Structure 1
Amino acid sequence: MKHILLACSSGMSTSLLVSKMEEAASAKGLDVKIWAVAQDKAFTELGKANVLLIGPQMRFLKKKFEKAAAEEGIPVDVIDPVAYGRVDGEAVLDKALSLLS
């Protein structure tokens, strides 16, 4: 099972995206756990994740997250703003999975 963590400013704006990603994963027959947290909780949740995607509004924090995630060997990237705005769960899921390859 792959564990995908999403982080955004408050943890609220990604909740719909999580649902869409879960739908896409189910359609593909993938066994994944996807959850979203606010930026301040992301650091404590890192140890439970295989990959961290951060909301576009937090791209300025990417280096800080990368530094923390490097200790765990967890890839970090920013969610594509277009996919985020469209709540394109399949595109964001594909991005997360590509980071794990």
Structure 2
Amino acid sequence: MNIYLVCNAGMSTSILVKKMQDAAKTQQIDVNIEAFSVEILDEKIDSADVILLGPQIRHMFNDVKKVVADKCPVEVIDMRDYGMIRGDKVLEKALKMVQNNKGE
């Protein structure tokens, strides 16, 4: 499973990715989590299972949804979870999004 966090430059989001990876390892969940700039989204979309936008680019949500179409679910990361770097909460949200998308 590929969880992609999309932001402006990927700097602060990379810290959240590390916390999410730690949470996944603790829970023994096999998942690939990456952060990258919105500029390369079109290169990554075909392998995405879920895309989470950093709150700082929430204004781009509709544009991202158009690029993604119906390939996978897209949501904005909760500002509190992002600010507090709650990797476990963001991971939980991403996993629920994938389950809901698959109808499980």
Alignment of 1:72-83 (within 5 A): 73-83=71-81
TM-score w.r.t. the length of structure 1 is 0.93
Q: Is the 8 A contact 1:12 1:38 kept in 2?
A: no
> What SS is found at the alignment partner of 2:88?
helix
Whether the aligned pair in 2 keeps the contact of 1:7 and 1:52 (CA below 8 Å) is: yes
Partner of 2:40: 41
Task: Measure the CA separation in 2 of the matches of 1:42 and 1:55.
Answer: 13
2:10 paired with 1:14: no
Distance in 2, Cα, partners of 1:52 & 1:42: 9
TM-score, normalised with respect to structure 2: 0.91
Unaligned runs of 5+ in 1: none
Report the Cα offset of residue 67 of structure 1.
1.2
CA RMSD of aligned residues (A): 0.9
Aligned match of 2:59: 60
User: Residues of 2 paired with 1:62 and 1:44: CA distance?
Assistant: 18
**1:13 shift after superposition:** 1.2
Deviation sequence 1:20-75 (CA, Å, 0-9, x none): 0000001111000000001111222111211000000111111111111125x210
The equivalent of 1:29 in structure 2 is 28
Percent sequence identity is: 40
Q: Which blocks of at least 5 consecutive residues in structure 2 are unaligned? A: 100-104
